[in-house]
């Protein structure tokens, strides 16, 4: 109860403040629940599937992500930007959906006509046609899923959003159990289980929100589509570059290393996704909230309060993973023991991305979406250079280091361009924490003695940098206890 009271004291519990907490909690249920289920699914998979096969399964998800990001054409971001400024939201939804879906149909046809080539490039074998076909089919359903989920998210229906996340993970867990225990124990078991879970979830969405897909009476609104594309196309370039940034490590390992190192890297990514739970929960909640606050003219101190608090939370979670990293081997299996040396670098990805969501608002508020292209280029450049230098010699650890450095540049670039287009807040504390987190990642890349005390020492140093934040929250909590009144109206 004291934790709940502290949160209420920080955010305020009257009126809008209570809604703030409720929405954040609602958006967090799905990712947290999904992560708990995934925490069962991942070791279940790695205990039965060797790293080489796990690496092939990772390539399936990677190529799918690359395709889907490009297929959105940035219209998904334009849809969220126009949502609160449009009276006829069904018309907006359907016009936003139509172009990416037709584009995905074209790609589906191209993939089906070139199955041998796609199979060879992705899996190293030209004969895995069924896996390629499943990938193509999922592209179609994931376009529908993306826009339906955006509609739910912009309506701030937090619990409905969370139910979907949990449903998919449950079905994937059940399917994985069936395949690895009764049918097969290779990369196809992971692909089949993932496909069954994803398609089941998408079918639920389509049936549950079929009113959004009722195109009777629909007509193309060309001026609206043009406006969406004008806003979205610069984003698709940036989003494609960002997706390539996320996948550069895996693509480099596929090019210059082997499926074993790729499997180790993929498994480490899965573990670092523990922090991605916070990233997903916060982003789903924060984007509509930030837009609403901006339209209401909220003072900059509210945005800074959220950013500083998030920095503190992500710091604690980051070091929590490092301090207990030896448990990773127990969770995955001895075959994946080397994941503990890459985990620090890969945890920088969700940490930097999540915090940057609070420092990049000037880009979206100013509608200068083209700046995201420069953000991605600035982050991608060191990633490509470091991957080409480190992966051939160091494998998964080299790819992880390149990813971590790239996301430090990503945070800096987002924050810089935002500050040029919006009333920003001081970030010296953020940059100091970044340096310490990267130093901790480097330390944990080696098999050093007394690594746990070293990590605890680094944690204390990082918290010392954030003394002001800790003091501010403590004072707000103390004031809340004395007055028994809300201290902020969020």
- Number of Cβ within 10 Å of residue 338's Cβ equals 19
Tens-digit pLDDT profile for residues 143-181: 988 888 888 878 777 677 777 778 877 888 888 888 888
Tens-digit pLDDT profile for residues 99-144: 899 999 999 999 999 999 999 988 888 988 999 999 999 988 889 8
Whole-angstrom Cα distance, residue 52 to residue 56?
Answer: 7
- In this prediction, residue 12 carries a pLDDT of 43
State the average pLDDT over residues 357-375: 83
Asked if 321 and 269 count as a contact pair (C-beta separation under 8 A), the reply is: no
Whole-angstrom Cα distance, residue 474 to residue 53?
Answer: 49
- In this prediction, residue 9 carries a pLDDT of 43
Asked if 30 and 164 count as a contact pair (C-beta separation under 8 A), the reply is: yes
Arithmetic mean of pLDDT over the chain: 83
Quote the pTM value: 0.75
- In this prediction, residue 487 carries a pLDDT of 47
CB-based burial label for 372 (10 Å; 0-12, 13-18, 19+): buried
Q: What is the 3-state secondary structure (H, E, C) of 408-459?
A: HHHHHHHHHHHHCCCCCCCCHHHHHHHHHHHHHHHHCCCCCCCHHHHHHHHH
**pLDDT confidence tier of residue 479, bands split at 50, 70 and 90:** low
DSSP H stretches of helix in 257-299: 259-296
- The share of the chain scoring above pLDDT 70, in percent, equals 90
Q: What is the 3-state secondary structure (H, E, C) of 225-267?
A: HHHHHHHHHHHHHHHHHHHHHHHHHHHHHHHHCCHHHHHHHHH
Whether 17 shows a pLDDT value over 70: the answer reads no
Tens-digit pLDDT profile for residues 446-473: 988 899 999 999 999 999 999 988 888 7
């Amino acid at each position: 109860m004291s934790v709940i009271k502290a949160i209420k004291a920080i955010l305020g519990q009257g009126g809008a403040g209570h809604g703030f907490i409720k929405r954040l909690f609602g958006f967090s249920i799905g990712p947290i629940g999904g992560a708990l289920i995934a925490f069962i699914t991942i070791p279940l998979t790695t205990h039965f599937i060797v790293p080489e096969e796990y690496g092939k399964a990772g390539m399936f998800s990677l190529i799918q992500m690359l395709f889907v990001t490009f297929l959105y054409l940035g219209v998904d971001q334009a849809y969220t930007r126009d949502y609160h400024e449009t009276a006829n939201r069904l018309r907006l939804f359907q016009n936003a959906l139509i172009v990416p879906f037709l584009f995905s149909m074209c790609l589906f046809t191209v993939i089906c006509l070139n199955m041998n080539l796609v199979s060879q490039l992705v899996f190293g074998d030209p004969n895995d046609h069924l896996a390629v076909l499943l990938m193509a089919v999922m592209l179609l359903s994931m376009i529908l899923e993306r826009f339906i989920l955006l509609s739910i998210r912009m309506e701030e229906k937090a619990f409905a959003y969370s139910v979907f996340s949990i449903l998919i993970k449950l079905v994937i867990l059940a399917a994985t159990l069936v395949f690895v225990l009764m049918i097969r124990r290779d990369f196809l078991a992971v692909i089949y289980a993932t496909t069954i879970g994803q398609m089941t979830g998408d079918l639920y969405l389509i049936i549950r929100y079929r009113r959004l897909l009722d195109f009777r009476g629909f007509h193309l609104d060309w001026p609206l589509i043009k406006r969406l594309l004008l806003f979205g196309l610069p984003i698709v370039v940036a989003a494609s570059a960002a997706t390539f940034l996320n996948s550069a490590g895996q693509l480099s390992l596929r090019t210059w290393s082997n499926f074993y190192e790729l499997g180790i890297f993929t498994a480490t990514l899965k573990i670092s996704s523990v922090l991605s739970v916070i990233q997903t929960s916060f982003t789903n909640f924060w984007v509509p909230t930030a837009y609403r606050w901006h339209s209401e003219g909220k003072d900059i101190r509210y945005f800074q309060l959220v950013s500083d608090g998030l920095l503190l939370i992500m710091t604690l979670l980051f070091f929590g993973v490092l301090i207990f990293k030896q448990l990773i081997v127990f969770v995955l299996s001895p075959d994946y023991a080397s994941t503990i040396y890459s985990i620090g670098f890969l945890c920088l990805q969700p940490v930097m991305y999540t915090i940057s969501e609070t420092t990049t608002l000037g880009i979206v508020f100013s509608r200068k979406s083209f700046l995201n292209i420069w953000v991605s280029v600035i982050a991608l450049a060191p990633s490509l250079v470091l991957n080409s230098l480190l992966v051939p010699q160091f494998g998964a650890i080299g790819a992880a280091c390149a990813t971590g450095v790239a996301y430090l540049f990503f945070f800096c670039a987002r924050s810089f361009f935002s500050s040029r287009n919006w009333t920003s807040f001081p970030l010296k504390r953020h940059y100091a924490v970044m340096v310490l987190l990267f130093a901790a990642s480097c330390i944990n890349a080696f098999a050093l003695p007394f690594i746990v005390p070293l990590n605890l020492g680094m944690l204390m140093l990082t918290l010392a940098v954030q003394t002001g934040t800790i003091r501010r929250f403590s004072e707000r909590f103390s004031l809340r206890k004395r007055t028994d009144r809300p201290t902020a109206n969020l």
